[in-house]
Amino acid sequence: MQQQDQTKSADENAIDVLIAAWLSAHNSGNAEAFNDLYAADADFIGIDGQVVKGRDAIVGMYAQIFAQLPGNKANIALDSRQFIASEIVIDDGTWEVIGFVPDGAPTKGRYTTLFRKEDDEWRIVSARSMVPVTLTAYEA
């Protein structure tokens, strides 16, 4: 088992364990493992703007992605974590997926994830993935 950081709260460590499980599920292509990570009423907005509502639909989305893009690997880096309430946390950071585009170049962006504590277990309740867009002078 992963050693807990003694300077973090039990809740922060639990969220870190959940994130590690998410990365493990993604990087092994195990869509079913997401059942344990998302709240039943979770939603997800992908980089294409697609809105997916509900844990079952999110698991199905990942199953489709893994079938179409086998072997793609994800990594994330946390920039900030805010406890909005004792049972609500928002993480912001950056993500990278290798194997998402045909030439193998990494796809990179930013994310915001909302976690909620339910029955003493943390779950992902909302996730947003964004790809930065460079604006031209007339758009800025």
pLDDT tens readout for residues 39-85: 999 999 998 889 999 999 999 999 999 999 888 999 999 999 999 99
Structurally, how many domains does the chain consist of?
A: 1
2 occurs within a structural domain: no
Residue 56 lies in a domain: yes
User: What percentage of residues in the chain have a pLDDT greater than 90?
Assistant: 74
Rounded Cα–Cα distance for residues 15 and 116 (Å): 10
pLDDT of residue 69: 87
In a domain, 98, yes or no: yes
CATH of the domain at 123: 3.10.450.50
Residue type at 31 in one-letter notation = A
Summarised one tens digit per residue, pLDDT across range 26-37 is 999 999 999 999
Distance, CA of 8 to CA of 86 (rounded, Å): 14
Residue 139 has pLDDT above 60, yes or no: no
Nearest residue to 127 (alpha-carbon basis) of 68, 63, 62, 33: 62
Look at residue 136 and tell me if it is in a domain.
no
Residue 137 domain-assigned (yes or no): no
Widest distance between CA atoms in the chain:
53
pLDDT tens digits, residue range 9-22?
999 999 999 999 99
Stretch (H or E) spanning 73: strand 73-85
Residue 55 lies in a domain: yes
pLDDT for position 2: 47
Can you give the residue range of the structural domain that contains 116?
10-130
Contacts by 15-19, CB closer than 8 A, 24 or more apart: 15/81, 15/89, 15/91, 15/115, 15/122, 18/115, 18/122, 18/123, 18/124, 19/76, 19/78, 19/91
On whether residue 5 sits in a domain, the answer given is no
Contact 99, 73 (CB under 8 A): yes
Q: Is 140 within the bounds of a domain?
A: no
pLDDT of residue 133: 73
